[in-house]
Amino acid sequence: MPMPWKDKERQREYQREYQKKYQKEHPEKRREWAKRSRQNLRETDLERYKQQKRQDYLKYRKWYVAYAKKRSAITFHTRRKQLIQKLGAKCNDCGFTEYPEILEIHHLDKNRENNLVNNLVLLCPTCHSLRHRKNLYSPKE
């Protein structure tokens, strides 16, 4: 018969009482019950472990999305500064250095999404535009 459980705590309490009583009345069942109880415990542990894993994964994914957003928010100027530090403030093709502030960033693999430093070079506007016109220009390397 179903009982109107007020809360989980009371339910557990009732179950404990019931089990005690039952064990007293049926000592021969005790061993079997203990075995089943161990098994149940293992199953709940497994379930808890899975839940924890899931939570960890969700937490990690949340963190990663935030991290990726932050990363892609690295400004053009920061990237430029990094490139200038690595390659020097000059055009990669013609060596133009007179006005470093007009140097442009060129994606070697033509993929604008790939902003890894080794995919980027600095070019003066002229060389940059030439690089994007294959018919006119073949890169030196």
Least Å distance, CB 109 to Zn ion, is: 20
Find the DSSP H helices in the chain: 8-25, 30-72, 76-87, 125-131
Q: Look at the alpha carbons of 108, 114, 119, 122 in this order and tell me if their dihedral is positive or negative.
A: positive
Two tokens, residue 75: 């400004």
127 scored as a contact of Zn ion (CB under 5 A): yes
The residue from 83, 120, 122, 124 that contacts Zn ion (CB under 5 A) is 124
Q: Quick one: DSSP state of residue 134?
A: T
Helix (H) or strand (E) holding 15: helix 8-25
Q: State yes or no: residue 121 binds Zn ion (CB under 5 A).
A: no
Give the per-residue contact string, 63-102, with Zn ion (x = CB under 5 A; - = no): ----------------------------x-xx-x------
User: What is the nearest approach in angstroms of Zn ion to the Cβ of residue 132?
Assistant: 13
Q: Which residues bind Zn ion (CB under 5 A)?
A: 91, 93-94, 96, 124, 127
